[in-house]
């Protein structure tokens, strides 16, 4: 028989925790011949129950008789969960956006490693994962956060299974169920956007909200928008740059960042196509409504420069439309955190800053029905807009052929939305609502 018994001084219990008591364990050792005719030995040690060892022996004998079967990588399977995940996330991170990569590393470091990091990869079981997830929920973490932890484990352990580090993916067999509390909140409607504009009027959030809720810009695009790309005389601005994710704390000049710049050395990196649903850059009109905010922001920064000079303090001019009072760039992570605090202190329904982009897309589409132009304003293809709005995307191949969204069309669509938000600002706002898609 290929199952042998041995005595150890410190036996583990069913949850792989050391008991401090001696006991017997059972090892499986199987000699077999591989597909190339070489004699090999398969072994797996430390079964607490003899019945489990015998069952594993029977299963492995059947698998090893299959010439296409590849045994587990013994050295890899003995890695701890911490060792495996740290290696996996670094290798897998090349396929992730910087923000997602940082999020994966943070969840692994803060939630997974403290709970199961010391466990051997080949000893990890669904029951252990269920206990860990329940422990995180008991600590007060949201269901969306715990679900995200489970997702990271599921993806990473599936890679370990495919690489033959483990036989099965334990994350696929958990019994923990998640409720619906982690769903994305519904986007703000027109009245809620109006309420938000009133709340941030005259504050440091005003221009951020204007660009997000009225134009649908991403946070990285807002924080990377330069005055050199704003043409107040021509009534347009170009969205072609974005602030890189995770700029180091204390960064004052963007030229200090070690990034590849397409234009001159002081610019944030130029936006790329990403996953195929984003445009390289886009020109958007400055409407009569938003011109007031652009001019107010420019005047505010001129006063900040003058006051800094008068007081003998340096103003770091990065040419950013939205920046700190001394011109230093805002960081995305701190801006997101501060936004969460702002909304929690208000009477507004909770929403993430990125959800203001969804609000702009939904409201513009509901007011105009112009699916294609909304996509061009937000920098999405028809497929991306269909996913965002939950409508058919079969129009892309045909519509893109015949519709050329020019600046005038974008202006009409945006004026319809902006004038609806400020109905008393333009006398003929009702006329702007009569928009023909053709």
The residue ranges of every structural domain in the chain are 3-71, 81-173, 190-240+272-433
Q: Residue 144 phi/psi, 5° resolution? A: -65, -40
Residue 216 neighbours by CB under 8 Å, 6+ apart: 356, 357, 360, 361, 364, 377, 378
pLDDT in tens, 365-421: 999 988 888 888 988 755 555 555 555 444 444 444 444 558 889 999 999 999 999
Contact 232, 218 (CB under 8 A): no
Mean pLDDT of the chain: 80
Q: Residue 130 phi/psi, 5° resolution? A: -60, -40
Under the banding of pLDDT at 50, 70 and 90, the label for residue 69 is low
Is the pTM higher than 0.75? The answer reads no
At residue 207, the 3 state secondary structure works out as helix
Give the architecture-level CATH label for domain 81-173.
Orthogonal Bundle (1.10)
Under the banding of pLDDT at 50, 70 and 90, the label for residue 92 is confident
Q: Using the 8-state DSSP alphabet, how is residue 211 labeled? A: I
- Which is more confident, 250 or 296? 296
> In what side-by-side order are the strands of the sheet with 282-285?
230-231, 236-239, 282-285
Contact 350, 182 (CB under 8 A): no
Q: What percent of the chain has pLDDT over 70?
A: 78
Proportion of the chain in helix, strand, coil states, percent, rounded to 5: 50, 10, 40
Alpha-carbon distance 141 to 176, whole Å?
15
The correct CATH number of 190-240+272-433 out of 2.160.10.10, 2.60.40.1580, 1.10.443.10, 3.40.50.150 is 1.10.443.10
- Which is more confident, 56 or 354? 354
The answer, yes or no, to whether residue 101 has pLDDT greater than 70, is: yes
pLDDT in tens, 174-233: 988 876 554 567 899 999 999 999 999 999 999 999 999 999 999 989 999 999 999 999
């Amino acid at each position: 028989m290929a199952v042998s018994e041995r005595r150890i001084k410190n036996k583990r219990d069913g949850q792989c925790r050391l008991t401090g008591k001696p006991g017997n364990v059972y090892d499986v050792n199987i000699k077999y011949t591989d597909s190339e005719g070489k004699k090999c030995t398969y072994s797996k040690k430390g079964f607490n129950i003899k019945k489990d060892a015998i069952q594993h022996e029977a299963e492995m004998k059947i698998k090893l008789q299959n010439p296409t079967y590849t045994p587990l990588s013994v050295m890899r399977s003995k890695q701890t969960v911490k060792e495996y995940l740290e290696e996996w996330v670094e290798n897998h991170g090349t396929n992730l956006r910087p923000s997602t990569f940082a999020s994966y590393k943070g969840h692994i470091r803060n939630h997974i490693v403290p709970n199961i990091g010391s466990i051997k990869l080949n000893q990890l079981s669904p029951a252990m994962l269920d206990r860990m997830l329940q422990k995180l929920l008991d600590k007060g973490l949201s269901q969306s956060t715990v679900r995200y932890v489970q997702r990271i484990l599921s993806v990473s352990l599936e890679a370990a299974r495919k690489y033959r580090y483990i036989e099965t993916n334990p994350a696929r067999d958990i019994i923990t169920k998640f409720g619906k509390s982690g769903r994305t909140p519904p986007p703000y409607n027109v009245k809620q956007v109006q309420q938000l504009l009133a709340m941030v009027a005259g504050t440091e959030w005003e221009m951020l909200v204007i660009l997000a809720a009225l134009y649908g810009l991403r946070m990285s695009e807002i924080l990377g928008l330069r005055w050199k790309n704003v043409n107040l005389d021509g009534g347009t601005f170009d969205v072609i740059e974005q602030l890189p994710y995770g700029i180091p704390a204390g960064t004052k000049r963007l030229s200090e960042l070690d990034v590849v710049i397409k234009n001159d050395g002081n610019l944030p990196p130029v936006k790329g196509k990403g996953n195929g649903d984003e445009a390289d850059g886009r020109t958007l009109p400055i409407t009569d409504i938003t011109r007031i905010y652009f001019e107010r922001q420019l005047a505010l920064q001129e006063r900040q420069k003058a006051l800094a000079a008068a007081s003998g303090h340096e103003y770091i001019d990065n040419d950013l439309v939205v920046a700190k009072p001394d011109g230093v760039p805002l960081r995305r992570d701190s801006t997101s955190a501060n936004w969460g605090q702002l909304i929690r202190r208000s009477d507004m329904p909770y929403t993430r800053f990125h959800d203001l982009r969804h609000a702009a897309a939904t409201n513009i589409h509901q007011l105009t029905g112009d699916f294609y132009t909304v996509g061009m304003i937000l920098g999405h293809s028809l497929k991306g807009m269909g996913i965002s709005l939950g409508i058919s995307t079969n129009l892309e191949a045909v519509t893109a052929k015949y519709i050329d969204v020019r600046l005038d069309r974008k202006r009409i669509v945006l004026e319809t939305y902006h004038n609806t938000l400020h109905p008393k600002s333009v006398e003929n706002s009702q006329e702007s609502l009569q928009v023909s898609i053709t």
